Amino acid sequence: MTSALDRDEFTAGYLIEADEHVRGSIANLLAAEAALKANTSQHRLVRELFRSLHTLKGLSAMVGVDPIVDLAHEMEAILRDTDRSTGKLSADAIELLLKGVRAIEQRLGMFAKRKPVSPAPRKLIAALADLQATDGGGAPAASSGALVLDPDLASKLGPAEREQLRSGIEAHRRALRVDFHPSPERSDKGISITSVRETLSALSDIVKVIPLAVPKSEQAPGGLAFALLLVTDASDEDLARAAALDATTFRGIALERASEPDVADDGDRDDDDVGTAPGLGKNVVRVEVERLDDALEKLSALVVTRFKLAHAVTALRESGVDVREISAILGENHRQLRDLRHAITRARMVSVAELLERVPLIVRGMRRSTGKNVRLVVDAGRAELDKAVAERVFPAIVHLVRNAVDHAIEAPEERARSGKPEEGTITVTCFEHSDTQLEIHVTDDGRGIDAAAVARRAGLPLPDSDGELLDLITRPGLSTLATATNNSGRGMGMDIVRRIARDVLGGELSLRTTRGAGSTFTMRLPMSISILDSFSFVSGGQSFVVPVSVVDEIVDLEPANIVRPPAPGNQRSTTRLLERRGEAIPLFTLATVLQLSEQRDARGKAFIVRLNEHAYAFAIDRVLGQQEIVLRPVDDPLVKVTGVAGTTDLGDGKPTLVLDLIGLSTLAINAANAEHAA
C-alpha cells in the first residue's frame, strides 16, 4: 500500500477526531478561564486538556502533520508542568494556549484542503517554551505534609491530585476513600462504577478513580475493585444512601505534618479517571456527511416515485378499477416513507449547543479588541438542526453576535452613567417552535437601535416600526459606523443575516428594540431544507406548492369580511383588506402578484403569512392537500427570482414551483406602496 493510499484511508477519520479534540480544548480553556476568575479548581480541566493535546499529537504524528505535532508538544509540556505543581493555569497561560489551539485549527484546515501545512509559528513556539521555562503556567505548590494513604494508591496520584486532597483537608473538608466492588447482583440493580461515580460527583469533588486488582471473594467475584478518592462536605450516611453503598467501607484520608516521600511520575499518563475518555460507553458510529446526503437523495427519489404511483392509482380508480387493496398498500407505503424520512433526518441532525460552542471564543476575542466588558449566555437546550441548515445559519449567528458587541453594548463607563451594570450581557437562546421550525434569539442589554440615526445614514424617512427599521439596517452597504473596524462597519453583516435567514433558508428574521434597553433579533428557520411538508394549491389556473412552515393559517374568504380601501383619484385600488379576528390584514390576490389570469371565485381560500411580525394574506383558488415534497432549489442567478424557492415533482412529470410567500409579500407591499404614491 502506498503512502498516498495510507493518507486517503486515515485522513477522514483523523480530521474528525482532531476536530473533536480541538473543540474540546477550546471549551476546557474557556472553562479554565472562568474557574480562574471564580477562584475554583482547574484540576480536572488541566488533565482533560493534557489528554486531548497528547492524543492530538499522537494522531498528527501518525499522518505526518509535523507542525501540529510541534505545537501540541509544547502545549502539553506546559500542562504537564502545571499538573505537577498547582494544577492552576494563569491568565497568560490560558491566552497563550488558546493561540496555540487556534494555530492548530488553522493547520487542520490546510491539511483538510490538501494544501501545504505551514510550519508552527516560531514566535508562538518560543513563547510557549518561555512559559514552560518559567512556571509552566502556574505557581509552584508548597507541600504542607504527607497524605495518610495506601502506598499503592499514593503511587498512582499525580502532584496536582495530591495537592487537591491536601487543599481540601486544609479547607476543613473531608477527604475520603470509597471502595466499590462490582458484582452481578449490583449490576442487576443498575449499580455500576459509572452510576456510583455520577452519584458521588453530585455530592463531592472526585479527585480520581483508581481500578485495583484484588483477590476474588464473595464481595469481589470478579477480582476487581475501584477506589474513589474524593473531597466532600457530605456525611458518610448521605453518600452511602445516595450511591447505595455500605458506609462502613468508607475510609478517611488524613494529613501528616511530615515530608512526603517522592513518588515517581509516570510521565505521559493515560490511566486517568475511569470512564472519562470521549466516546467510552456510547454506541456511536461516525458517518461521512456525503453518505447521509446520498441516503437523503435516494429517499427523495422514493418520494417522487410515490407521487407517480398515487397518480397511477387515481387514474385506475377513475377508469372503474377496484383499487381498494392497492390504495391500502399505498397508504402503508406513505407511512413507511414518512418514518424513513424522520429516521434519516434524525441521523443528519446536529446539536445546536454544539453549533454554538465556538461563539464564546468569538465574544472573548472581541472583548479584548473592543475593551468592552461582555458576558455571553448560551441556552440551546436539546434543540437540533439539520447539518445543512446548521452550516448555513452559523455565519448569521456570528454576524449578530459581533454586531451586538461592536454596536449595541456600551463601554463600561457609559453603562455606569446609565445606571446599568458595567458588564453587558448577550444572550443566545434556541428552542423548537414546532416539529418543523426552530427559533433562534440573539438578545443584548445594550443601547438599542437609534432609528433616527439609521434613517439619516440611509437618507430615508424615519421608520414607523421595528419591521421597517429592520428593512433599513439590512440594506446592502449600510453601516452606522463612520469608520470600519476589524469587526464591523463595512455594511455587509446585517445584509448577510437577512439573505441567509430569508433567501437561503426560507425562514423569517424579525427585530424588537428599545432605546436604552437593548435589542432582540429572532430567526425562525426550518429544521430541514431538503424534504418538506407542504401545501399544494391552485392559483390562476396553475398548481403551486408552499412549505407548511411559512403558513400561519388557512382561512375561507367571505365577501362580507373583505373591504377595498380608497385609492388616489378615481382609480380602483387593487389592494384589499381582510377582517380577521378584529384585525385588518392586507389581502393580495396571488394570481395578480404572479401576473397570471385571475380566476373569479367569490369563495376561495387565503394563506396567512407573517413578515416582520405583520400579517399578510394571499388569496388563492383552492387547496389541493398537504404532502411531503422534495425541494430542488434554484441556485442559478440567471433564473433565480424573488418569490420562488425552488421546484418539485408531484409525480406528474412536470416541475411545480415552490413559492416563497415571504418574498412575494415584499413584492406585493412594494407594488401597493407604488400604487398609492402614484
Q: And the C-alpha cell for 290? A: 456525503
Whether 206 has a pLDDT exceeding 90, the answer reads no
First-to-last CA distance in the chain?
A: 76
Looking at residue 400, what is its pLDDT?
A: 92
CA 56 to chain centre: 24
Q: CB within 8 A of 44, min separation 6: which ones? A: none
Give residue 667's pLDDT band: very low, low, confident or very high (50, 70, 90).
Answer: confident
> Cβ–Cβ contacts within 10 Å for residue 574, how many?
15
pTM of the model: 0.64
Q: How confident is the model at residue 155 (pLDDT cuts 50, 70, 90)?
A: confident
For residue 8, is pLDDT > 60? no
Query: CA 678, CA 672: separation in Å to the nearest integer?
Result: 10
Q: What's 136's DSSP letter?
A: T
What integer pLDDT is reported at residue 582 of this predicted model? 78
pLDDT tens-digit map of 304-340: 888 888 888 888 988 988 888 998 998 888 888 888 8
Write down the pLDDT at residue 481.
Answer: 59
Give the single-character DSSP code of 73: H
Give residues with Cβ within 8 angstroms of 96, minimum separation 6: 78, 124, 127, 128, 131
Digit-coded pLDDT (tens) for 639-651: 677 788 888 877 6
User: How confident is the model at residue 490, as a pLDDT?
Assistant: 45
Kindly report which listed range (95-109, 207-221, 447-461, 499-513) carries the lowest average pLDDT score.
207-221
Instruction: Read off the pLDDT of residues 35-64 as tens digits, 9 standing for 90 and up.
Output: 888 888 787 888 888 888 888 887 787 677
pLDDT 10s digits, 263-283: 333 333 333 333 333 333 345
pLDDT single digits (tens) 528-584: 777 778 898 998 888 899 988 888 889 888 888 887 766 555 555 567 888 888 788
The position carrying cell 385506475 is 316
Q: What is the per-residue pLDDT for 185?
A: 83
Query: Are residues 142 and 181 in contact, defined by beta-carbon separation less than 8 angstroms?
Result: no
Q: Per-residue pLDDT tens for 86-139? A: 778 888 888 899 999 999 999 998 988 888 889 989 898 888 888 876 655 554
Q: With a cut of 60, say whether residue 441 has pLDDT above it.
A: yes
Q: Helix (H) and strand (E) counts for the chain?
A: 21, 25
The three-state secondary structure class of 465 is coil
Strand, coil or helix: 522: strand
Residue 5 has pLDDT above 50, yes or no: no
Kindly state the percentage of the chain with pLDDT values over 90.
10
Q: Is the CB of residue 609 less than 8 Å from the CB of residue 615?
A: yes
